[in-house]
Every structure is written in C-alpha cells, then in structure tokens.
Structure 1
Amino acid sequence: MAGPAVYGSGVGRPEIYVSTDVETDGPIPGPHSMLSFGSAAFLADGTLVGTFAVNLVTLPDAEGYPDTMAWWETQPEAWAACRADQEDPQSAMVRYRDWLEGLPGKPVFVGYPAAFDFMFVYWYLIRFAERSPFSHSALDIKSFAMAVLGTDYRATTKRSMPRRWFGSAPHTHVALDDAIEQGALFCAMLAERATESLR
C-alpha cells in the first residue's frame, strides 16, 4: 500500500540548483535592506537554464549599517550597479517567486555563504511574496566543499580548493555575476563528487 503523498517533495522532478548572491546595506534584513540579488539556475551537469536579477528599493525606516556602508565606499562600480533601475520589493519578490516556480525542476537554494544570502532572500520572499519555493532550507557551497575534500570547515576556503573547480569569471560584487561564478563552482564540485563515486 502506497504511503501518503509528500507535498513539495519534488519526487520525479530534477533538482535545479539556484545559485544566489545578495548585496545588502547591513547584516540582517528588516533594520537593513537587500539592495540587489541575482540567481543563476543550473542543472546538475552545469547547464545554465535561466537567470534572475533585480535591484531593490530600500525598506521604509531601514538604514545602512556603518561598517557595511564604509565597505561600499571602496566599491563604487558595484554600488552604482546595484542602485540602478530599482524596483519595489513587493513586485520584485512576486516576480522572483513565479520565476522559481516556473523552473523545469525543484529549486534548491545554493549560496556562499548560504546562511547570509538565504536569510535575506527567505525574509523578503515571506514578507513580500507570502511563500518560499525553497521551503526553509539552503545548500551551503563551503559546507559541500568540506565534504568533498574531507577537510575541516574552517580550513575549507576558496584558496584551499582545487584550481580546476574555478572558471575565469571574476568576483565583481555584482549579484548576478557572482551568482553565476559561484554556481559554476558548485557544479564543478558536483561533477568531481560524481566522478569519485564511480571509482
């Protein structure tokens, strides 16, 4: 006898790895704002199936955190990029939710670090779009690298990762650029894990 169906289990649907990067003006959402974010949706084989990017109007009554704003002063090009063509969070997050739900598989949030990026994206999705297609979980690239390499967490840094995992794309602090770069890195890790499992 078959068991009950599990809502949102994604059984029979491929996983789509949605590498996501956020740019913010502070350490937590609410008192501070998500200025922009970009998502790059990858199949497990590294195929890029879609992207989403938006710059957001800041939250009412929120303000920039002094240390974060001081860092932004050192990144004038990235700051200009994330402040162009701003959209209201309400419309942006509904569009993003619909984009995620329209992907050809079950979206899996992927971040570096996931704890920071997902905190903002999840908060904004619930606040402005009423639900999160990711549910309430996220996959952290650094944690996955730790497992693949067999290293301690603190010792698992980009400098300690094999150069073969990295492409030529620079880390620009423009959200979509960084999401694509980090998604390709994650897919390289997936490929290596698959190769190792066949040995």
Structure 2
Amino acid sequence: MPDSKANPEIYVSTDIEADGPIPGPHSMLSLASVAYDPDGQEMGSFSVNLETLEGAEAHPRMVEWWAQFPEAWAECRKDLVAPEPAMQAYADWIEALPGRAVFVGWPAGWDFMWVYWYLMRFTGRRPFHENALDIRTYAMALRRLEYRKSGKSYLPKRWFSEQRPHTHVALDDAREQGELFMHMLRENRRDET
C-alpha cells in the first residue's frame, strides 16, 4: 500500500463552463482548477479559455442562460486557446502536482464528464484516472441527510468563505468550491480525532 505521506492526495477543485449539455456537439468554453494539499493549503491554479470545437454549436438554452451573465460570458471568451494545446498544458499541470490528483467538483458528474472527454479526445491521457469526488455527495455523507437535503442552501454557513461569490467565471468558482470542500474535509477529520 503506498505511503500517503510520500504520495499525498492533492484535491483539484475544478469548474468548467460550456455552451451545451454534452461535449462533442457542444463546447467547453473555460476550464479552471485550484489544487489543495491535504491540509487545505492552495498549491496553485490552472485556468484557460478554449476555442469552440470545430462543427459544434451552442445549445439555444445555453445561449439564453449565458445572456443573463454578460460579464462572465465576456470573461470566458478572452485569450482563447485551441483545445489540444490547452488540454496538453492542463494534463502536464496535473501530472506535475506532488501527489495523487483527485478531481473535486460540484457537481462532479457534470464537470468531470467534460474534463475527461476533452482530456481523452485531445491528449489520450487520464491524469485523474477515474477519480472524481462530488462535494454534494460528501456533504450528504457528512450530514447524514438525503441527497436532496444536501444542496448549498442546506449546508452550514461555517463551511463557506464569505469573500467568494459564485460568479460563473471558472477560476472563481473552482476556488469557491475548493474552499468549501476543504472546510468540510477539515471538520470531518477533526471529528475523527
């Protein structure tokens, strides 16, 4: 069994923005991750805005949704990078982390689907393997409540960072949810001792 001190888990809080419900017919617009060590210290971040996929189109409902957030839309359309070099750089960044990367998201099912598809399509690499931790599911287990009673409005205020609003800018949201997860993880570990 590998030594957890020599190969610690690195929690990679990740958020994506997209223009549709699934990758392929639609595009991932931006990707951001913030890495945390097991003690909750931020180790670094990665952020990139991507060019849309060739032949893909924005879903009409997502066009309407983005119209509500013009500042976030403008932010995710700056300094665009083609998907292949963007994902190569992202995989390199994850693999350079000093430990085993664990994808962390809210909802992990959504964000991980996009990240995994793009990584496989453009790099053929699996730096997370299939390790994806869903923060809401973690909250459900911590609080011993039903999943439907584990949304953000049900969570204790002490788990949230007051200075982190949800902006729909990928890097902001990755940091916001990363801090939320690390507060939960620290509290859970305190309860074990």
Calculate the TM-score normalised by the size of structure 2.
0.96
Equivalent-residue separation in structure 1 for 2:146 and 2:136 (angstroms): 10
1:38 aligns with 2:35: no
Give the SS at the match of 2:130. coil
| Secondary structure of 2:24's aligned partner | coil
Stretches (4+) displaced over 6 A: none
What residue number does 2:124 align with?
130
Aligned AA for 1:41? A
Bigger drift between 9-18 and 24-33 goes to 9-18
Residue equivalent to 1:104: 98
Instruction: Give 1:44 shift.
Output: 2.0
Secondary structure in 1 aligned to 2:161? coil
For 2:153, the aligned partner's letter is R
Would the alpha carbon gap of residues 125 and 10 (structure 1) be closer, same or farther in structure 2, given more than 3 Å must change?
farther
Equivalents in 2 of 1:177, 1:104: separation in Å? 23
Does the CA contact (< 8 Å) of 1:167 and 1:185 recur in 2? yes
RMSD over aligned CA atoms reads: 1.2
Aligned positions of 1:4-83 closer than 5 A = 12-83=6-77
**Partner residue of 1:183?**
178
Alignment partners' CA distance in 2, 1:125 and 1:56: 13
For the residue of structure 1 that corresponds to 2:29, the secondary structure is: strand
Query: By how many angstroms is 1:137 displaced?
Result: 2.7
CA shift digits 1:2-31 (9 cap, x unpaired):
xxxx9xx78640000000000000000000
Work out the CA distance in 2 between the residues paired with 1:152 and 1:45: 28
1:50 CA drift (Å) = 0.7
Q: Give ranges in structure 2 of 5+ residues lacking alignment.
A: none
Q: C-alpha distance in 1, partners of 2:38/2:185? A: 7
Q: Report the CA distance shift for 1:74/1:10 in structure 2 as closer, same or farther (over 3 A).
A: farther
Report the TM-score, using the length of structure 1 for normalisation. Answer: 0.93
Q: CA deviation at 1:45?
A: 1.5
Aligned-pair CA distance for 1:43: 1.1
Contact 1:57 1:87 in 2 (8 A): yes
Does the Cα contact within 8 Å between 1:10 and 1:106 map onto a contact in 2?
A: no
Q: Deviation per CA, 1:145-198: give whole Å up to 9, x if none.
A: 001111101111111101000002111000000000100000000011011111
Q: Which deviations, in whole Å up to 9, do the C-alpha atoms of 1:65-117 show, x marking residues without a partner?
A: 11111000010000000000000000000000000000111100000000000
Structure ID, larger Rg? 1
Q: Are the counterparts in 2 of residues 56 and 88 from structure 1 also a CA contact under 8 Å?
A: yes
Q: Which runs of 5+ in 1 are unaligned?
A: 1-5
- Where 1:154 maps in the other structure, the secondary structure is helix
Residue type at the aligned position of 1:109: F
Residue 149 in structure 1 maps to residue 143 in structure 2: yes
Identity within the alignment, %: 55
